[in-house]
Amino acid sequence: MELIIDRLTKQYENKIAVDRISLTLKEGVYGLLGPNGSGKTSLMRMICGVLKPTSGEVKFNGIDVNEEEYRDSLGYLPQDFGYYPEFSAYDFLLYMASLKGLTKHRAKDKASEWLELVGLLDVAKKKIKTFSGGMKQRLGIAQAMLNNPKILILDEPTAGLDPKERIRFRNLISRLGKDRIVLLSTHIVSDVEYIASTILIMKDGQIIHQGSLDEIISVIEGKVYECSVDSKMTDYLIANYPIINIREESDKTFLRLVADKSPCEGAVAVPAVLEDLYLYYFNEGVNRDE
Query: Do residue 120 and residue 165 come from a single domain?
Result: yes
Query: Do residue 115 and residue 230 come from a single domain?
Result: no
Query: Do residue 30 and residue 14 come from a single domain?
Result: yes
Q: What is the pLDDT of residue 288?
A: 40
Query: Do residue 100 and residue 38 come from a single domain?
Result: yes
Query: Do residue 162 and residue 233 come from a single domain?
Result: no
269 in a structural domain: yes
Reported residue count of the chain is 290
Query: Do residue 276 and residue 204 come from a single domain?
Result: no
290 in a structural domain: no
DSSP string, 72-140: HTEEEE-SS----TTSBHHHHHHHHHHHTT--HHHHHHHHHHHHHHTT-GGGTTSBGGG--HHHHHHHH
Q: What is the pLDDT of residue 284?
A: 53
288 in a structural domain: no
Query: Do residue 7 and residue 147 come from a single domain?
Result: yes
Query: Do residue 123 and residue 265 come from a single domain?
Result: no
201 in a structural domain: yes
Q: Give the chain's domain count.
A: 2
Query: Do residue 136 and residue 94 come from a single domain?
Result: yes
267 in a structural domain: yes
Q: Which of 178, 202, 217 is a domain's end point?
A: 217
Query: Do residue 203 and residue 252 come from a single domain?
Result: no
Q: Which of 217, 245, 261 is a domain's end point?
A: 217
Which CATH number goes with the domain that contains 134? Answer: 3.40.50.300
Query: Do residue 256 and residue 128 come from a single domain?
Result: no
37 in a structural domain: yes
Domain that holds residue 201: 3-217
50 in a structural domain: yes
Of the candidates 216, 214, 241, 215, which has an alpha carbon nearest to the alpha carbon of residue 226? 241
User: Would the CA dihedral through 54, 59, 64, 69 be positive or negative?
Assistant: negative
Tens digit of each residue's pLDDT, the chain (290 residues) = 899 999 999 999 889 999 999 999 999 999 999 888 899 999 999 999 999 999 999 999 999 999 999 999 999 988 777 788 899 999 999 999 998 888 999 999 999 999 998 889 999 999 999 998 888 888 988 999 898 899 999 988 877 777 887 888 888 888 888 889 999 998 788 888 888 999 999 999 999 999 999 999 998 999 999 999 999 999 999 999 989 999 998 889 999 999 999 999 999 999 999 989 888 888 754 434 33
> What are φ and ψ of residue 24, in 5° steps?
-125, 115
Q: Which of 190, 217, 244 is a domain's end point?
A: 217
Q: What is the pLDDT of residue 133?
A: 82
> What is the Cα–Cα distance from 203 to 33, expressed in whole angstroms?
9
> What is the Cα–Cα distance from 47 to 200, expressed in whole angstroms?
15
Q: What is the pLDDT of residue 289?
A: 38
Query: Do residue 140 and residue 230 come from a single domain?
Result: no
289 in a structural domain: no
Helix H or strand E encompassing 25 = strand 15-25
